[in-house]
Amino acid sequence: MIRRLALLACIFTLCISAASAFIRNTQAGLGCSPWPQCLAQQAEARGGSGMLRMAPSTTGPGEVDAVFVARALHRISAVLVGLLALGIVLFGWSRLGASDRAAAAFALVDTVFLSWLGRYTPHDVPLVTIGNVLGGFALAAAFGWIAAGGTRAGQAATSGRMYLAWTALALAGLQSALGVTIGARDAVGVCVRPLCLPQGPVDAAVFDPRVAQAIASAADGQALHLAHRLLAIVVAVLVLLLALRSASRPGPRTASRSGSQTGGAASARRRPALGALACILLLAPLGLATAAGLLGPGGGTLHNVLAGTCFVLLAVAARPASNHVGIDSH
């Protein structure tokens, strides 16, 4: 029961992240026309207070209706996630293992933190939006961690696999922070090729998430895109290694067990890593299409959902091996 509640909370958290991304991308004018010159006009609409203040003409009637629906979805999902996080702690604490209790406590604290931070978003300071996005990803990952408990019985300890998963998760967080910074600096459309080398000097301040400013030149945005995409390659390689390691044959002792049991454990090890790899492979063309202004706010929203799903799958892959049946039996 607790596992199902955690899975439901994970799904609602991704819904919150998607709704927030759609609102943010619509207000920022993602996919506006003429692209990407129109992004410079969006930057001029920002006020000096740090809060994002868009010009009234940046959204049409249809987009306003879509934003209204997204806000409603965001608020309903947020209430449900808060109730589910509280319910998991109150009713599942005695049945959860140590790591799952830590995840449940983190989820409850993170829910309160995000409800407070949401009052200040969207914001010109990238650090605020980064906290909102990564906080949401971490919340979904915590619920995913709990939901996966007890489904990996009989697996041998694979510390190398866990190390790869945690490393990939940390680098994916850094890459996501760079992606949020690209959007916050109105730099989405400055690089439509797979890799863009900066064509000129780069202001190092564009990498400082505490500084609220749009890019001063195309080179600044190209540097952000280059770092974001190079990190994506590193994360993809790590996840590929994770998938290969998860699919490796068990040792002699484990191999002596029944074939069906061993095969089931190997399949359970592979699924999260392969799912994360699939998300990463989909994120690459989706990111290029979004940078080209082809998909509008929906493209950036789908990009956000896939990134959050990747976080959840990597968190599941990072779970320590278990030799007993956990909350799945309750």
Express each pLDDT in 229-276 by its tens digit: 999 999 999 999 998 887 765 555 444 444 444 455 556 668 899 999
9/321: higher pLDDT: 9
In this prediction, residue 320 carries a pLDDT of 74
CA 308-317-162 angle, to 5 degrees, is: 125
Strand partners, 254: none
Tell me which residue range forms the domain holding 216.
2-329
For residue 20 the two structure tokens come to 């927030």
pTM of the predicted structure, to 2 decimals: 0.86
Contacts of 140 (CB under 8 A, 6+ apart): 10, 13, 14, 17, 308, 311, 312
Task: Tell me how far apart the 2 most distant CA atoms of the chain are, in Å.
Answer: 69
Percent of the chain exceeding pLDDT 70 equals 80
In this prediction, residue 42 carries a pLDDT of 66
Backbone angles phi, psi at 48, to 5 degrees: -80, -5
Count of domains in the chain? 1
**What are the Cα distances from residue 208, in Å, to 158, 174, 319, 330?**
37, 13, 32, 47
DSSP H helices in 120-216:
126-147, 159-184
pLDDT tens track for 145-198: 999 985 444 444 457 888 999 999 999 999 999 999 999 888 898 888 888 889
128/256: higher pLDDT: 128
